[in-house]
Structure 1
């Protein structure tokens, strides 16, 4: 206990029955400044559970340590004086004279790069898919391993790259992003490695490249699948040897960087088609992390919507009605969070009050891409809509009901309503006819 008291990180000591025996000063300051936790169980203090974590659907480090006999790490969502926070847990078993596990020491470190509640910036979410991804970020960030972020466009790969950087020992040094898709092949080498004076036409002065700019920090290669084959071999040399040359120079320079790369492309298929070097692929993918699509984490849409509304309409206090949220959660979002943001910005422009209703969301959907239908999501019954069951046509029924409400409430002509919705009058008549047919069915 005396040893723990002097440690700078929050630590607790507890027994095999989950009872906390001691909490050091760092823990008391950060997690329990007003009430002692000694004598209480760890799962009640951290999670407000009445049973151990593994019985409440969480991964329990104590159970894992009992099984492995070794130190175990997990990422948990803890209740703290600041609300719920993601916390890195590292638990080590202590053996008695008979070699049996008698006590456990748990070190806690908040993961500052992500929130379980809506926030102005950063990673936001609490769904299982999000937490699984975040757990991998927490594990790999303190290392020097090369990370490959895989996911569809709009899933937040740059945010995750920043999270890896900010949770690493290099957080005090720069994170330099390279947009590989926008760099012309003839400029790629110069932008990345720099050039000497006279190296090519227009090189009037020597200039360092992005690798030098990232010295001591992290180099983020965004859309690495778009790097031309001729340039891939030069990047491979950088990763294999840690050295590079400026264009026009014979001097070898050492690169003090950690590399994180990202792509929405299928690199395995590109390797098979000889469009991406296999050796470079293995160098980049030491630790791959899959970023879940928004349709894989629908439970996070409410949190994301609250945060995004604050960004797209910072001077308004907007809320989403329950039917509006159901309609948002029912979309497939091929553009993921980026598409959700665009949809919400369009919705705020169509809403004059403080409450975004289902009809506003429908207007925004009809004026953009066609709404998608997800047979898994069942809209809830709400005033003004028919009682629905979770069938493949449930979402269409909600859309038809909302369109009928718009038509009934609109005082002007059908042409004016079509213009307001951003669709042709012919499309409006077709949609209304489908809505009437659905209501008569």
Structure 2
């Protein structure tokens, strides 16, 4: 945008009111030169905003964002001369919110940047509060920024992360912020499905297609027409079925079981898994061509260990969901205890703890004893790695790392009840490497 002189400011100011999202006109010194009604309403500003600093209003900072530990879009705009977009946390009338900030430079006749139009769009407002994601940590914010960028596009998204990190909520966020939000969101639980059942569930079947097929069944691909198809635990899809899924993605067509007539599919694909798909590709357990089809836009969902500062806001949010009839609060000691936990089950485990605590709490305040599950927490202290670490610390002499690894492998292989393939995945090594290391123990 080109600006002739400062007399053009009123014309630009009138344009702000045509923007439905909160918007302001800023100068090079971060000063607000004009704002629209949505901005004033968002930040509850009844007085004048003219010449106030943008970072003072939106963040409560006394210095620009880049001096307060955040990226500053205005500074980046000045450095690059290009439009900038990033995710910030603003203090709005609804509390702390993630806001998609887009800054557009305005040049004068000599090509110099003189002003900026800043438009702010809240990213996580959803009509169903049950589906809202909560968090303000850097790891969560990075994840949310990626989701916000991918949501309006039709690109396939692969959600990666440990079990219980909220991958289905993230998929629902992508759907609800997409152009397909008014169409169905269909989930396919890939884990545990046999080859024949998976094909029937996904593509549907015709009457008489197989024994017991007494009527035609609509498949989930057809149910998701115009909307989003979410394949949860895509790493569990049987290898023979992966080629049929690949054909569906590549051709956009499929055939119900027992039918000779192909059908056209229309859906946005989102996949999720807690497995290491790259490693599975190397081991021949997941098709490489399918992997690249489903993962043009991978997003890592952080564990609670990576976003520990979100534990209490998450816990409070879950408590509101679980006890809407009678509000409960966490004591200071309970908050401190929660922040010290590792939560291998992540948000799902945190929710389970709170559900149990609600039943044990007779007052309006949840204490530490309501959260502790004695048998589970005792088992956690019996973890082989913790025992091994304590035994090493108790020794007078430090042992070589190779010897420490051998001791750990010996204990884990003895106590682990699953398969060697599952154990290798838990150790984040290939099955071949595991067998080689176990052979070295003998």
1:175 aligns with 2:185: yes
Q: Counterparts of 1:348 and 1:5 in 2: how far apart (Å)? A: 48
Match of 2:78 in 1: 66
CA deviation profile, 1:309-367 (whole Å, cap 9, x unmatched):
23344443322222221111111111111111112222233333222223333xx2313
Query: How do 1:186-265 and structure 2 match up within 5 A?
Result: 186-265=196-275
1:5 aligns with 2:13: no
Q: 1:351 aligns with which of 354, 361, 378?
A: 361
Indicate if the aligned counterparts of 1:147 and 1:284 stay in contact, CA closer than 8 A.
Answer: yes
**Structure 2: which 5+ residue stretches go unaligned?**
1-11, 382-388, 391-442
Q: Secondary structure of the residue that 1:262 maps to in structure 2? A: strand
Q: Counterparts of 1:124 and 1:355 in 2: how far apart (Å)? A: 22
Q: Counterparts of 1:113 and 1:209 in 2: how far apart (Å)? A: 32
**RMSD after superposition:** 2.2
Q: 2:315 aligns with which of 288, 294, 305?
A: 305
What TM-score, normalized by structure 1, do the two folds share? 0.79
Indicate if the aligned counterparts of 1:114 and 1:124 stay in contact, CA closer than 8 A.
Answer: no
1:44 aligns with 2:52: no
Indicate if the aligned counterparts of 2:87 and 2:145 stay in contact, CA closer than 8 A.
Answer: yes
Q: Counterparts of 1:178 and 1:29 in 2: how far apart (Å)? A: 41
By how many angstroms is 1:109 displaced? 1.1
Q: 1:159 aligns with which of 148, 152, 169?
A: 169
Indicate if the aligned counterparts of 1:129 and 1:296 stay in contact, CA closer than 8 A.
Answer: yes
By how many angstroms is 1:112 displaced? 2.9
Q: Counterparts of 1:343 and 1:83 in 2: how far apart (Å)? A: 27
By how many angstroms is 1:121 displaced? 4.6
Match of 1:368 in 2: 376
Q: Secondary structure of the residue that 1:302 maps to in structure 2? A: helix
Q: Secondary structure of the residue that 1:240 maps to in structure 2? A: helix
Against the structure 1 CA distance between its residues 163 and 120, is the aligned structure 2 distance closer, same or farther, given a 3 Å change threshold? closer
Q: Secondary structure of the residue that 2:114 maps to in structure 1? A: strand
Q: Secondary structure of the residue that 1:367 maps to in structure 2? A: helix
Indicate if the aligned counterparts of 1:313 and 1:345 stay in contact, CA closer than 8 A.
Answer: no
Q: Secondary structure of the residue that 1:59 maps to in structure 2? A: coil
1:88 aligns with 2:100: yes
By how many angstroms is 1:281 displaced? 0.6
Q: Counterparts of 2:174 and 2:295 in 1: how far apart (Å)? A: 15
CA deviation profile, 1:179-232 (whole Å, cap 9, x unmatched):
011322111112111222322222233332111111111111000000001111
Q: Counterparts of 2:199 and 2:192 in 1: how far apart (Å)? A: 13
Match of 2:303 in 1: 293
By how many angstroms is 1:298 displaced? 1.1
Against the structure 1 CA distance between its residues 25 and 308, is the aligned structure 2 distance closer, same or farther, given a 3 Å change threshold? closer
Q: Which segment drifts farther, 33-42 or 288-297?
A: 33-42
Q: 2:111 aligns with which of 91, 99, 116?
A: 99
Query: How do 1:16-31 and structure 2 match up within 5 A?
Result: 16-31=28-43
Equivalent pairs counted in the alignment come to 370
